[in-house]
Structure 1
Amino acid sequence: MSGDRGSRTANILDVARLAGVSHQTVSRVLNDLPNVRPATRARVEQAIAQLRYSPSPAARALVTRRTRTIGLVTPVAADFGPTSIAMHFNVAARAARYSVETVSSLDADPANIRAIVESLLRQRVDAIVLVVVDVEVLELVRGLDLSIPVVAAASTARRSPQFVSIDQYRGARAAVRHLAELGHERIVHLAGPQRAPDAIERVRGWRDELNERRLEVVAPIHGDWSAASGYRLGAELDVDPGSAVFVANDHMAIGVLSALRERGLRVPHDVSVVGYDDVPEAGYLYPALTTVRQDFAALGELMMQKVLVAVEEPDSATVDTPLPTHLIVRQSTRAARP
């Protein structure tokens, strides 16, 4: 048996290890894609030659049947996160010389999503990519068993090779940590929809950071990602001078800022506010919004690289580490009043 293992055929991960690069980079070289440094390309090509590597026959057979089209399933809502993910995935797909057939789902009903997937399969797409905004669709994706690669952008504590994500959990903890280090002992959370995976992970991060610091945990209040819901809930938030609010996205935070102003509470003098996403308008609000930045361009690129690797080497799937977030400190937070 040991002799069999020693003589096994090299795969794309072996090439990546020998060349000292990621498997995504090897895939870019194999597909003759741009944005690979000449020295890196040469190192990969040398590793390919040394290992006598060639993509699996099954993958090569798929090449001849490719339509170079990817099916993308997105929610119909114009929320900043899903819209940005879809846009940057399209950019990455075009750079890889693929076209994208985008279908927007009017609702997150799993039966509806399955019907969309089946329609894309009839169009002979090479892969299916989904932007997941509902936990039931998340479970549907886990159960899909298709003959082509499936990649989903979805926040989940249960990682698997088919999912890519931005680290919502650690992003939320960073936001709460910032407020706690400013001396705020009561940090209210205005959360996103209860069935949204991003919202669930942000609630988990908020709660864990408060528990670790032994600060008060009150039940989160759920909005719907819109500025209108932020305004409506902000008008009733149980806050007083010295409190802080961690809001699950910037659009809701915009509504909260307006509601607090109407209540006569000054941000940040009376109440500190942190948002999430770093929308383009965040730095131009009054006060400029402290928020958590997500790299949607990197996520779109990662999704496309995941598709390329899945097509090249169906058996070399790996679990990817969630992409990091970055806390952007602006004028909506300050030290708590004594």
Structure 2
Amino acid sequence: MNGAARQGASSALPRSVDVARVAGVSQKTVSRVLNDEPYVSDEVRRRVLEAAEQLGYRLNGAARALASGRTRSIGVVTLGTALFGPASLLMGVERAVRDTGYALRVVNTMEGDPAGIAGAVESLLEQGVDGIVISEPIDEGEVPVRVDVPVLVIGAPAPFAAPRVVTAGVGAGLLAGAATEHLLDLGHQTVHHLAGPQRWYAARDRLAGWRAALAARGRHQPAVVEGDWSAASGYAAGRALAADPSVTAVFAANDDMAIGLIRALIDAGRRVPDDVSVVGFDDVPVAAYITPPLTTVRQPFDAVAREGLEMLVHAIEHPRAESSPAADPPVELIVRASTSRPPGNPGTRSRRISQR
């Protein structure tokens, strides 16, 4: 391919007419080759395919839907995991998309596979989706892929460039701040934090919210203990925290770790909440039924998914119109029996039960 062709290809997304020019054939011949129609010589077919590869031309479902201009489908790239947060967010997206009139196509990725996101996006673009939702909670670095449709990113920065990017988030920092403030309002001098793995954007946001709440009150920030979202990691952290008599309050970055933490504290002879108060994050279904029932913050998955899908559809159907920024999601603190005033401080009460 000559330099002029390369320069032209880099200035904009390639079209079938560009493939035809580089291959030295008609646009109709390009269409026949890429749709695998008969009556094309092997030599011409080879030239067209080589030109398409050099230019990075992608034949997708959108090209086959030129009559309407859209396929009325939205693709979702999501982490393939059974963890409560990502799975619940995906369910929220699936429920929200029903009201948009669009079909949904989902591609799962695996943690620790940076190329998986690029492959998932390419797969969706080849199917001709009109927009893409990125619900990928782990920092895998920049994704080397070209996207020519609007993109909704939930709870993370966009990992690639797109002609239109809209963002929505569950407000993890606000929720973490509310959990921390609840413990401070009860009279605890500071709050320890059992963090999630820091490759996860949600874990970083919750850590930042905890730090901001302590800083706003001028409180000491204890060393952070990092878990892996599992109850087992919460139990391991709980054994270490139980050995420190100064620990009276802990905010765990998810409910599973909080449950493991409580078990470790009780096994070590530390009463919950009489000696140590614990707050979780997520409000998993079992949180209300453990002993003691877990105080936690509830993530607004459905509200965020619904608003995000509305923004994405607006970007698809009105490409030149400005999008309104996403509203702050509601903060809902569910107070149960795992939190109380610290030992020796019977007079302080929590100022906030819930904020909507």
Counterpart position of 2:254: 249
- What stretches of structure 1 move > 4 A for 4+ residues in a row? none
Give 2:72's match in structure 1, choosing from 62, 68, 72. 68
RMSD: 2.2
* 1:176-219 alpha-carbon deviations (Å, 9 max, x no partner): 11111111113110001111111111111111211222222122
Superposition TM-score, scaled by structure 1 size: 0.75
1: distance between equivalents of 2:211 and 2:82? 28
Counterpart position of 1:39: none
* 1:33-71 alpha-carbon deviations (Å, 9 max, x no partner): xxxxxxxxxxxxxxxxxxxxxxxxxxxx98813222211
Moved more, 289-298 or 213-222: 213-222
C-alpha deviation, 1:321, in angstroms = 3.0
What does 1:25-174 align with in structure 2 at a 5 Å threshold?
Answer: 64-137=68-141, 139-140=142-143, 146-155=147-156, 161-174=165-178
What does 1:175-254 align with in structure 2 at a 5 Å threshold?
Answer: 175-237=179-241, 239-240=244-245, 243-254=248-259
Counterpart position of 2:279: 274
C-alpha deviation, 1:239, in angstroms = 3.8
Secondary structure at 2:106 match in 1: strand
Q: Contact 1:247–1:275 at 8 Å: present in 2 too?
A: yes
1: distance between equivalents of 2:221 and 2:135? 31
C-alpha deviation, 1:153, in angstroms = 0.8
Q: What is the percent sequence identity of the aligned residues?
A: 43
Q: Contact 1:68–1:97 at 8 Å: present in 2 too?
A: yes
C-alpha deviation, 1:109, in angstroms = 3.6
Secondary structure at 2:273 match in 1: coil
C-alpha change, 1:149 and 1:161, in structure 2 (3 Å) is closer
2: distance between equivalents of 1:97 and 1:239? 55
Q: Of the two structures, which has the highest relative contact order with CA contacts closer than 8 Å and spacing of 6 or more?
A: 1
Q: Contact 1:241–1:265 at 8 Å: present in 2 too?
A: no
* 1:141-161 alpha-carbon deviations (Å, 9 max, x no partner): xx86522111111146xxx95
Superposition TM-score, scaled by structure 2 size: 0.72
Counterpart position of 1:334: 340
C-alpha change, 1:241 and 1:284, in structure 2 (3 Å) is farther
1:300 aligns with 2:301: no
Give 1:322's match in structure 2, choosing from 328, 331, 334. 328
Aligned residues: 273
1: distance between equivalents of 2:165 and 2:128? 23
Q: Contact 2:72–2:102 at 8 Å: present in 1 too?
A: yes
Larger Rg: 2
C-alpha change, 1:75 and 1:63, in structure 2 (3 Å) is farther
Give 1:285's match in structure 2, choosing from 279, 282, 290. 290
Q: Contact 2:137–2:201 at 8 Å: present in 1 too?
A: yes
Counterpart position of 1:28: none
